[in-house]
Structure 1
Amino acid sequence: MRRRIAALGCWLAALALPALGATEIVVATVNNEHMIEMQRLTPHFERANPDVRVRWVTLEEATLRQRVSTDMARGSSRYDVLTIGMYETQIWARRGWLRPIDPPPDYDLADLLPAIRAGLTLDGRLYAAPFYGESSMLYYRRDLAERAGIVFPDRPSWRQVREAAERLHDPANGVYGICLRGKPGWGENLALVMTMANAFGGQWADLNWRPQLESKPWREAVSLYVELLQRYGPPGSAANGYNELLGLFRAGRCALWVDATIAAGFLSDPAASRVAGRVGFAQAPRAVTAKGANWLWTWSLAVPTTSEHPQEARRFAAWATSRAYTELVARERGWAAVPTGTRRSTYEHPQFQRVAGAFAAAERKAIDSADPDDPTLPRSPYRGIQYAAIPEFQTIGVAIGQQLAAALSGRASVDQALHAAQTTAERELRAAGYGGR
């Protein structure tokens, strides 16, 4: 018996180790559902590439950004493949921190949506492979809206959204009027609020790099944001990010939600969503303008120059972002579950159109309408819609997000929060040589 137990232990240990002679690559990613699905499907890649084994490090979004950014700045990344976005890609490529992806010919670069490809390209070379792309749009409970006699236009105004939130707010029956990101972070609450400020005619900084966080558009946007969540949002909104709000909406707890277009497929899946078939889709709300009202983003796979296994890492990045991978997800989970927002071929596929007809057109329209090179009504010196593509933005954005959370939770007034945010932005930009007041 002891010999059998010892043999069993050796067998289990062998299963935990990479195949003999295989190269192990470490992939750092965010804990979003599409990434978790990618991990589940990784054995397909390993069977086709028996010389490679993949180890995953899955982190909450803010933790991933902080850890990866710190590692890259130190030149000592522990990862072979990084999950990063448009903000980091061009900045890090210019600094020499990323290797070009250089995908194989059958990858079909021309199939990538132009806005997504452009955001990941520097000097004609792709430095990150887009896993999924997104803009933002309004989700609403179509059944509740119809019952209340509410009709949303293709792109409603924030005034119409506020009125609908008030009318649909029904906490006694477990339905909150509106759900919005409250968790602090430049990619969480600030991403939404910057698009709101854009819609009110604002900008993050003017052409002289003077921060505009105490301007009238920012005050109007943040005041509305705080009012919406304090009056009509779920309790504890300051702790809610994308994942938490996705769970609330598909559980039937939110009447309205402005967030990433990538959520549409999850909300439309009857196996995972209580509100499947009862969700309406509209473009992100405008105020005085639609310019910059919806963001543009892509979670992408990049290979750092510190990777000791760049060829294997590139091979994995190309596999996970290929048309073949999309078709694999479709076979395993159905076309409604495929990662979207990156390839023309996905939107053109008849089976995808059949199952995603309710949201695909709205999602594609939102992505195509977002212009990070012309993001605000007044001219701005930066590229990016819900972020400014400068290295200093990450530090400043984290601080602004914390101030927004303080206003939302009642620890500061809107004016106090924006003054503190303005002071921080001025100090950081001045120290970096951008000027400021």
Structure 2
Amino acid sequence: MTFKAKSLYGACAAMALATGASAQDTTLTIATVNNGDMIRMQGLTADFATKHPDIALEWVTLEENVLRQRVTTDIATGGGQYDVLTIGNYEVPIWARQDWLTPLEGMPEGYDADDILPAIAGGLSVDGTLYAAPFYGESAMVMYRTDLAEAAGIDMPDQPTWTDIKAAAEAMTDEEAGIYGICLRGKPGWGENMAFITAMSNSYGARWFDGDWNAQFDSPEWNATLTDYLDLMNNYGPPGASSNGFNENLSLFQQGKCGMWIDATVAASFVTDADDSTVADSVGFAQFPNKEGVDNHGNWLWSWNLAIPASTDAPDAAKAFVAWATSKDYTALVAQEEGWSAAPPGTRTSLYENVDYQAEAPFAEMTLNSINAVDTTKPSVQEIPYTGAQFVAIPEFQGIGTAVGQIFSAALAGQMDVDQALQSAQQQTQREMDRAGYHDK
């Protein structure tokens, strides 16, 4: 996939190499993820350089799983390799309670932290103090080809069930034309395939743990979840799906190879961008599906955020950058350069009150409604001892979720069946929870 910002980023990088860092008093090393919004931000940092000529920026841009591994290792050991971290709302409260993050108090005048959507700000705060600033926020939804749906006689409801999704996937699949009815995450990782599968399991009425922290993969709800996931992907998904994550599926959808894609709402601006997407004029949106009889549309809530590790030796410069990149002025800059539909979504109330954004972003209302509908205190319809949405908000989940993700990805690749995968997930998860002593808490 390509992004207009890549050329801008190249120009900025060349300018930085030409001028060198000698003119700056401070150099910030920023660890970030290689998705479209972050690449776009790098391409617009000439604006930051103009406003802060004394601060130079160095970028470490990594694939999602690699980023998580490296920043987790660095902050847990106090390595001090990075001055600004791109982390999720999973890590923020856990790391803040470990005193690993710098509180974002005393932000520059005009930053307007009160404008941040309450659902997003709540996940980034501990005892009322903000420990990270959201760059963008998201829930999840169905993105689908309206032209293919019309040709197949499919009328996609605003609140589809998984039965609706299966019927649409079957009707829109045309392997001879290289069109697959549905694209879903298969790449292993707690924030890759397990983000989607956990949200799907929530919509099926499943839960990770019961009230005594016993793993629940031996439940009928989990069996139904994984059975239907594999059925959708094996019958109507693209080949090699066990290697596909967010970026790979985005590229497939933009190329017109997916009838449907169920994923993060942040993707909407990229699938409707005519410069990058061949199907930009034929994209419809619907709420994350639910299982018949279960009133739960997935409960997915995520934000990519900029945080400052306590180990930085340049906290003031880091705070200046974080404020710039997550401000209303940055949103306006993106709109000026690339249009309102490209503005980072899901973070500020003012964006969704902006009539220009509403006019240019057909996905705005669905995104806001999806975010506001999430209840991170009750992601499952069953009683649970944890909070979270498409993750479990405990420190051990990063390791457990990735291990289970590898098991389910192997099942998608045909290396084991549903029962074997769930048995392995049950045993591995239970063993790790026993080792962590959760049954004694």
TM > 0.5 between the two? Answer: yes
**SS where residue 31 of structure 2 aligns?**
strand
CA distance in 1, matches of 2:389, 2:399: 17
Kept after mapping to 2: 8 A contact 1:209/1:434: yes
CA distance in 1, matches of 2:213, 2:219: 14
Out of 319, 323, 326, the position equivalent to 1:321 is: 326
Scaled by the length of structure 1, the TM-score of the pair is 0.95
**Partner amino acid for 2:41?**
M
- Please give the residue correspondences for 1:163-242 in structure 2 after superposition, counting only pairs within 5 Å: 163-242=167-246
CA distance in 2, matches of 1:172, 1:254: 13
Equivalent position of 1:309 in the other structure:
314
Equivalent position of 2:67 in the other structure:
64
**Partner amino acid for 1:296?**
L
Equivalent position of 1:429 in the other structure:
433
Equivalent position of 1:96 in the other structure:
99
**Partner amino acid for 2:309?**
P
> Are residues 206 and 105 of structure 1, via their aligned partners in 2, closer, same or farther at CA, if it must alter by over 3 Å?
farther
Once the two structures are overlaid, the 10-residue window that deviates more, 411-420 or 399-408, is 411-420
Equivalent position of 2:4 in the other structure:
none
**SS where residue 211 of structure 1 aligns?**
coil
CA distance in 2, matches of 1:155, 1:12: 48
Equivalent position of 2:166 in the other structure:
162
State percent identity of aligned pairs.
Answer: 51
CA distance in 2, matches of 1:291, 1:389: 19
Equivalent position of 1:412 in the other structure:
416
> Are residues 12 and 390 of structure 1, via their aligned partners in 2, closer, same or farther at CA, if it must alter by over 3 Å?
closer
1:363 has 2:362 as partner: no
Equivalent position of 1:281 in the other structure:
285
CA distance in 1, matches of 2:146, 2:21: 50
Deviations 1:132-167 (A, max 9, x none): 000000011111111211112111001110111111
Deviation at 1:226, TM superposition (A): 0.7
1:249 has 2:236 as partner: no
**SS where residue 337 of structure 2 aligns?**
helix
Equivalent position of 2:78 in the other structure:
75
Deviation at 1:15, TM superposition (A): 2.3
**SS where residue 140 of structure 1 aligns?**
strand
**SS where residue 257 of structure 1 aligns?**
strand
Deviation at 1:372, TM superposition (A): 0.6
Equivalent position of 1:55 in the other structure:
58
CA distance in 2, matches of 1:273, 1:242: 15
**Partner amino acid for 1:231?**
N
Kept after mapping to 1: 8 A contact 2:205/2:382: yes
Deviation at 1:13, TM superposition (A): 10
> Are residues 382 and 13 of structure 1, via their aligned partners in 2, closer, same or farther at CA, if it must alter by over 3 Å?
closer
Matched positions, count: 425
Kept after mapping to 2: 8 A contact 1:133/1:341: yes
> Are residues 13 and 168 of structure 1, via their aligned partners in 2, closer, same or farther at CA, if it must alter by over 3 Å?
closer
Deviation at 1:50, TM superposition (A): 0.9
Kept after mapping to 2: 8 A contact 1:139/1:281: yes
Once the two structures are overlaid, the 10-residue window that deviates more, 158-167 or 101-110, is 101-110
Kept after mapping to 2: 8 A contact 1:292/1:385: no
Kept after mapping to 2: 8 A contact 1:168/1:177: yes
Once the two structures are overlaid, the 10-residue window that deviates more, 24-33 or 340-349, is 340-349
Equivalent position of 1:22 in the other structure:
25
Deviations 1:308-333 (A, max 9, x none): 10110011001100000000001111
Deviation at 1:14, TM superposition (A): 7.2
**Partner amino acid for 1:400?**
V
**Partner amino acid for 2:304?**
W
Equivalent position of 1:143 in the other structure:
147
Deviation at 1:291, TM superposition (A): 2.4
Deviation at 1:402, TM superposition (A): 0.1
CA distance in 2, matches of 1:183, 1:30: 16
**Partner amino acid for 1:196?**
M
Report the aligned-residue RMSD.
1.4
Unaligned residue ranges in structure 1 (runs of 5+): 1-10
Kept after mapping to 2: 8 A contact 1:292/1:376: no
Kept after mapping to 1: 8 A contact 2:27/2:58: yes
